[in-house]
């Protein structure tokens, strides 16, 4: 079984599925000849030709809009947005159209497309290259949101996303692209969308994270008896796994990069406060980015949840 990083795992998933399913086409800025700015689509244009791996003009709304048209026609387009911070021009296409075509047409036309994009902070890149605005997409009925936390799950989740009958936003934590290496089987395996993973069992506190925060939480909380949940799919998210854990531990800490206010942590906290409040011993704590734009390199570590803040939250809860 090959050992590979997340870039390679995603590339493998795309390549294998393109071999299996000729409805899969890739499009985006620099995805073809250049193989994507992170090399995620490296070699795919060579392998599958310019009709299936399409270098587009610099136009995010047009890219997603074109992908929507392809999906309506019966293909399964995979649009790459170069960085999550450049998806906002396509926001209308995603929310007014991709998320609604099935519903608007009462099921007659469907929109099975995947939008892949690098996401998250910590790569010392310019402004708008380190966003984590996943919560926006979780507030869109008709859109699914998936965030892998490593190579193995990335491949399995992407294969599920590529086969999903509805639009999926697939957020790839940039900081992890080459950080984690794992054994990733060649060939077909899928991980179901909508299911979380217990990344580490524990009994004193439930810690929920996703994407690159998972790696940080696992490291920082090694000395604690924490049950760590890797959410994997944010929308629809796995309420069952979360509630089961929370009922067991009675304590919850949610960790995410995005600004606290209206981040996805809010939805998790609200759901827990709605469904399991009587099992809680203390407050539901969020360790999140502050309500500021992600800063540039020299300040970004002041922004991201760090060991001190994560441990402080857990310690506080353990006092209840």
Partner 1 sequence: MIEVMPETIIDTFSVSRLDILDPEGIADESLLPSLSREDSLRLYELLFLSRAFDGRALNLQREGRIGTYPSILGQEAAQVGSAFALKKSDWVFPSFRETGVHITLGYPLELLFRYWAGDERGLLCPDGLNVLPVSVSVGTHIPHAVGAAMAARYRGDQVAAVAYFGDGATSKGDFHEGFNIAGVYRLPVVFICQNNQWAISVPRSRQTASATLAQKAFAYGIEGIQVDGNDVFAVYSATRQALERARGGGGPTFIECFTYRISHHTTADDADRYRSSAEVEEWKQRDPLERLRRFLEKRGYWNKDYQADLEKRTREMIDQAVRDAESAPAPERSEIFRTVFEKCTPRQARDLEVSADADL
Binding site for a second copy (CB under 8 A): 61, 85, 88-89, 91-92, 95-96, 99-100, 103-104, 127-128, 133, 135-136, 138-139, 141-142, 235-236, 258-259, 261-270, 272-275, 277-278, 280, 282-286, 290-293
Residue 277 structure tokens: 């409040």
Q: Which helix (H) or strand (E) holds 125?
A: none
Q: Catalytic annotation on 302?
A: no
Interacting residue with partner 1 among 6, 7, 25, 81 (CB under 8 A)? 25
Interacting residue with partner 1 among 46, 127, 188, 274 (CB under 8 A)? 127
If one asks whether residue 29 binds ligand TPP (CB under 6 A), the answer comes out as yes
What mask of x and - would describe binding to partner 1 in positions 267 to 296, judged by CB under 8 A?
-----------------------xxxx-xx
Which of the listed partners (ligand TPP, partner 1, a second copy, none) does 165 bind, with a CB threshold of 5 to 8 Å by partner kind? partner 1
- Contacts for 80 with CB less than 8 Å, ≥ 6 apart: 26, 27, 28, 29, 31, 36, 40, 41, 115, 116, 117
Residues in the chain: 320
Tell me how crowded residue 15 is: count the other CB atoms within 10 A of its CB. Answer: 17
65-84 binders of partner 1 (CB under 8 A) = 65-75, 77
Give the nearer residue to partner 1 in terms of CB position, either 176 or 234. Answer: 234
If one asks whether residue 86 binds ligand TPP (CB under 6 A), the answer comes out as yes
If one asks whether residue 91 binds ligand TPP (CB under 6 A), the answer comes out as no
Residue 259 structure tokens: 């600004």
Least distance to a second copy from the beta carbon of 306, Å?
19
Residue recorded with tokens 């019966």: 74
Residue 43 structure tokens: 């070699």
Q: Among all residues, whose Cβ is closest to ligand TPP?
A: 86
User: CA-to-CA distance for 210 and 126, rounded, in angstroms?
Assistant: 23
- Measured over the CA atoms of residue 229, residue 230, residue 232 and residue 234, the dihedral's sign is positive
255 with 310: CB under 8 angstroms? yes
Nearest to 279 by CA among 310, 312, 245, 313: 245
If one asks whether residue 178 binds partner 1 (CB under 8 A), the answer comes out as no
4-23 binders of partner 1 (CB under 8 A) = none
Residue 73 structure tokens: 């026609």
If one asks whether residue 196 binds partner 1 (CB under 8 A), the answer comes out as no
Interacting residue with ligand TPP among 8, 45, 66, 82 (CB under 6 A)? 82
Which of the listed partners (a second copy, partner 1, ligand TPP, none) does 179 bind, with a CB threshold of 5 to 8 Å by partner kind? none
What letter does residue 127 receive in the DSSP assignment? Answer: T
Q: Which of 97, 129, 139, 279 is catalytic?
A: 129
User: CA-to-CA distance for 129 and 119, rounded, in angstroms?
Assistant: 8
Which of the listed partners (a second copy, ligand TPP, partner 1, none) does 243 bind, with a CB threshold of 5 to 8 Å by partner kind? none
If one asks whether residue 59 binds partner 1 (CB under 8 A), the answer comes out as yes
246 with 252: CB under 8 angstroms? yes
Interacting residue with partner 1 among 47, 273, 277, 299 (CB under 8 A)? 299
If one asks whether residue 262 binds partner 1 (CB under 8 A), the answer comes out as no
Q: Give the binding range for partner 1 (CB under 8 A) out of 11-19, 176-184, 222-230, 233-241.
A: 233-241
Residue 303 structure tokens: 């922004």
The half-sphere exposure of 63 on its side-chain side, counting CA atoms within 13 A, is 30
Residues catalogued as catalytic: 129
């Amino acid at each position: 079984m090959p050992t590979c990083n997340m870039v390679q795992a995603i590339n493998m998933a795309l390549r294998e599925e393109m071999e299996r399913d000729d409805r899969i086409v890739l499009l985006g800025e620099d995805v073809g000849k250049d193989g994507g700015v992170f090399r995620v689509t490296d070699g795919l244009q060579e392998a599958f030709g310019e009709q299936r791996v399409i270098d587009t003009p610099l136009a995010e709304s047009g890219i997603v809009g074109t992908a929507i048209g392809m999906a309506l026609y019966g293909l399964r387009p995979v649009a790459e947005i170069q960085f999550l911070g450049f998806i906002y021009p396509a926001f209308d296409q995603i929310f007014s159209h991709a998320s609604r075509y099935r519903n608007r047409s009462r099921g007659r036309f469907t929109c099975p497309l995947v939008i892949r994009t690098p996401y998250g902070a910590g790569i010392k890149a310019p402004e708008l290259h380190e966003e984590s605005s996943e919560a926006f997409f979780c507030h869109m009925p008709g859109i699914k949101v998936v965030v892998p936390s490593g190579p193995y799950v990335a491949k399995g989740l992407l294969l599920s996303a590529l086969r999903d009958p509805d639009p999926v936003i697939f957020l790839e934590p940039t900081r992890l692209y080459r950080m984690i290496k794992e054994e990733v089987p060649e060939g077909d395996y899928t991980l179901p969308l909508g299911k979380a993973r217990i990344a580490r069992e524990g009994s004193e506190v439930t810690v929920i994270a996703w994407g690159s925060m998972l790696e940080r939480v696992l490291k920082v909380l090694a000395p604690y008896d924490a049950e760590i949940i890797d959410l994997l799919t944010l929308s629809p998210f796995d309420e069952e796994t979360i509630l089961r854990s929370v009922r067991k531990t009675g304590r919850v800490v949610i960790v995410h990069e995005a600004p606290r206010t209206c981040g996805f942590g809010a939805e998790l906290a609200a759901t827990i406060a709605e469904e399991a409040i009587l099992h809680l011993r203390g407050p539901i704590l969020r360790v999140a980015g502050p309500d500021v734009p992600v800063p540039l390199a020299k300040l970004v570590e002041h922004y991201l949840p760090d060991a001190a803040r994560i441990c402080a939250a857990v310690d506080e809860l353990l006092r209840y």
